[in-house]
Amino acid sequence: MPDLIEAFHTALRLIATLDPGLIEIVVLSLQVSLLAVILASLIGFPLGGALAVYRFPGRGAVTAILNALMGLPPVVAGLAIYLLLSNAGPLGVLQLLYTPTAMIAAQMLLVVPIVGALTRQYCEDLLEEYDEQLRSLGASPREVTATLLWDCRYRLLTVVLAGFGRAIAEVGAVMIVGGNIDHVTRTMTTAIALETSKGNIALALALGLVLLATAFAVNGALMGVRRFALRLAYA
Amino acid sequence: MLDPTSPPDLSNASVDGASPPLPLELRGLVYETGGKRLIDNIDARIEERGITVIMGPNGAGKSVLLRLMHGLIPPSRGEILWAGRRADRELARRQAMVFQKPVLLRRSAAGNIWHALGLRGIDWSERPARVEEALRLAGLERLAAVPARTLSGGEQQRLCLVRALSLEPEILFLDEPTASLDPASTLLIERLLIKAQRQGIKVIVVTHDVGQARRLAQDVIFLHHGRVIEHGPAKVFFDQPRSEAGRAFIAGGLVL
């Protein structure tokens, strides 16, 4: 027990003194997950919006697959990107395995279904209200999609935050394609896994606290966005 | 019957953008859904340049008829002709509709009008003046930047109406526009409708409010069970209704 308390003190000191080793890991984690979420949103928003508006054969199947992929296990996403980027894989020539780029790709694979599926759901709900009015105004499917995405903007912001929460907290995907290489691909989650198994509880605990604070911040932002949108009746 | 593959007959069609493409003819119009016949073989010819009011008890098919005329739903049978011409995209762009429950975008009051103008392809440079004019018409100038959905019920419906008017339609459909409004808000809406009619816009409004129909209508279509029971000048309908249902409805009685 005294060991644990000491580890906790060390962890707090690492955070308070902005320990360079700690900061490096935190910054890389945030960079990877932020980029993954931004890129996933660029794909997921139009994908979800189009799925809500356009009618085409196989639409139900695409929607079902997207919904199912929301629960994609991170290790499976990591494995898929690994196979793609390994030397024997189709994109092996790019030599991207064990780089932050590979980690971004793996997290995108996790987040695109979340952003896409939630965007589709929100847009479809809103379309029920808007459909006749927009058709009366003569909007084309493309214009309907754009209108829905813009009018869902606060909800989409919460979708982005949910996607970020998922990306920053996962460990399996970045472990497989990143390899947890010190100073190169070590993120908060992979470092926690490693340091804990090495018995270096203090660093693991410090990273855990930062991760926890990130989760709180994301949730706080989520609630703030929702409350703001409600006040404008834009929810 | 017109062959749908033949080019539209333009001989008596209104090509002048300023005059509505009337008469509106409904021929053998039927609309069925879920095994129910909501519109039952309606033939009608709407020529009047004045305000046409479609009346009838709940479930008479008033809203469905309005949606059919506006082209929001396709008829099961029969056809709708505007000055002898089937509705197409160009004709649809000359119409606008206000719904019973105001449908407002999650944008400011001005943003709602702006976007509607954009969807109709109104040039960017022309929009600010039209937005301003519409807000002035609704008496909402000072609320231009306010989120539309935080406006009061009456303000919301006025915004919907002037948003429709800002598109400069030739035909304006309204589905029970004042059903949930107080008398003051209702009056403002009715004034805007009369003004629009005087400017040459053909107004077709659904209502089950007899008082409103008396105030607005020059032409009345009385629907019951999806059929046109009476259709004629408002004065004739209100003074000497020919049908039992019409008499009962005007008297405020129950129409079953």
B93–A129: do the CB atoms touch at under 8 Å? no
B105–A138: do the CB atoms touch at under 8 Å? no
Provide the pairing of β-strand B227-233 with B219-224: antiparallel
CB within 8 Å of chain A, chain B residues 151-190: 167
| Side chain identity, residue B111 | G
**pLDDT by position in tens, chain B (length 256):** 334 444 333 334 333 445 788 899 999 999 999 999 999 999 999 987 789 999 998 889 999 999 999 999 999 999 999 999 998 888 999 999 999 999 999 999 999 999 999 999 999 999 999 999 999 999 999 999 999 999 999 999 999 999 999 999 999 999 999 998 999 999 999 999 999 999 999 999 999 899 999 999 999 999 999 999 999 999 999 999 999 999 999 988 666 6
**Nearest Cα residue in chain B from A153:** B106
Main-chain dihedrals φ then ψ at residue B223, nearest 5 degrees: -105, 145
pTM to 2 decimal places: 0.90
The CA distance from A224 to A220, in Å, is 6
Are A111 and A163 contacting, i.e. CB atoms less than 8 angstroms apart? yes
Which chain A residues are within 8 Å of B119, Cβ to Cβ? 134, 137-139, 143, 147
* Residue B8 within any structural domain of the chain: no
Chain segment A48-87, per-residue pLDDT in tens: 999 999 999 999 999 999 999 999 999 999 999 999 999 9
- Tally of domains in chain A: 1
Q: What is the CATH number of the domain that holds A112?
A: 1.10.3720.10
* Residue B197 within any structural domain of the chain: yes
- A130, A137, A233 ranked by CB distance to B120: nearest: A137
* Residue B140 within any structural domain of the chain: yes
pLDDT at residue B256, rounded to an integer: 65
pLDDT at residue B13, rounded to an integer: 38
The CA distance from A130 to A145, in Å, is 11
B67–A132: do the CB atoms touch at under 8 Å? yes
The CA distance from B4 to B74, in Å, is 14
Residue ranges making up the domain that contains A101: 2-231
pLDDT at residue B231, rounded to an integer: 95
pLDDT at residue B32, rounded to an integer: 96
Q: Token pair of A174, please? A: 């970045």
Q: In what order do the strands lie in the sheet containing B36-46?
A: B36-46, B24-33, B77-82, B85-86
* Residue B193 within any structural domain of the chain: yes
pLDDT at residue A234, rounded to an integer: 83
Which chain B residues are within 8 Å of A153, Cβ to Cβ? 106
- Displacement of CA A87 from its chain's centroid (Å): 27
- A136, A152, A232 ranked by CB distance to B70: nearest: A136
Shortest distance between the Cα of A218 and any Cα of chain B, in A, equals 24
Chain segment B88-119, per-residue pLDDT in tens: 888 999 999 999 999 999 999 999 999 999 99
- Tally of domains in chain B: 1
The CA distance from A77 to B226, in Å, is 57
Closest by CA to B107, choosing from A140, A232, A136, A143, is A232
* B120 close contact with A: CB closer than 8 A: yes
Closest by CA to B4, choosing from B83, B78, B91, B94, is B78
* Residue B14 within any structural domain of the chain: no
* Residue B6 within any structural domain of the chain: no
* Residue B90 within any structural domain of the chain: yes
* Residue B9 within any structural domain of the chain: no
The CA distance from A205 to A178, in Å, is 22
Residues of A with CB under 8 A from a CB of B: 129-130, 132-139, 143, 147, 151-153, 232-234
pLDDT at residue B17, rounded to an integer: 42
DSSP B147: B
Main-chain dihedrals φ then ψ at residue A106, nearest 5 degrees: -65, -40
Residue ranges making up the domain that contains B171: 24-250
A149 vs A142, A153, A213, B79, CA distance in Å? 11, 6, 30, 36
DSSP B150: G
> What share of chain A in percent tops pLDDT 70?
99
Q: What is the CATH number of the domain that holds B152?
A: 3.40.50.300
pLDDT at residue B127, rounded to an integer: 97
Closest by CA to B73, choosing from B119, B32, B22, B21, is B32
pLDDT at residue A153, rounded to an integer: 95
pLDDT at residue B254, rounded to an integer: 65
* pLDDT classification of A4: cutoffs 50, 70, 90: confident
Shortest distance between the Cα of A135 and any Cα of chain B, in A, equals 7
A136–B93: do the CB atoms touch at under 8 Å? no
Which chain B residues are within 8 Å of A132, Cβ to Cβ? 67, 72, 97, 99, 103
A151–B106: do the CB atoms touch at under 8 Å? yes
Please compute the mean of the pLDDT values over residues A120-147 and round it to a whole number. 97
Choose between B18 and A90: higher pLDDT: A90
The CA distance from A40 to B144, in Å, is 35
> Which one of A126, A127, A133 makes the best mutation probe of the B interface by having the most chain B beta carbons within 10 Å?
A133
> Which run of H or E residues covers position B164?
helix B153-166
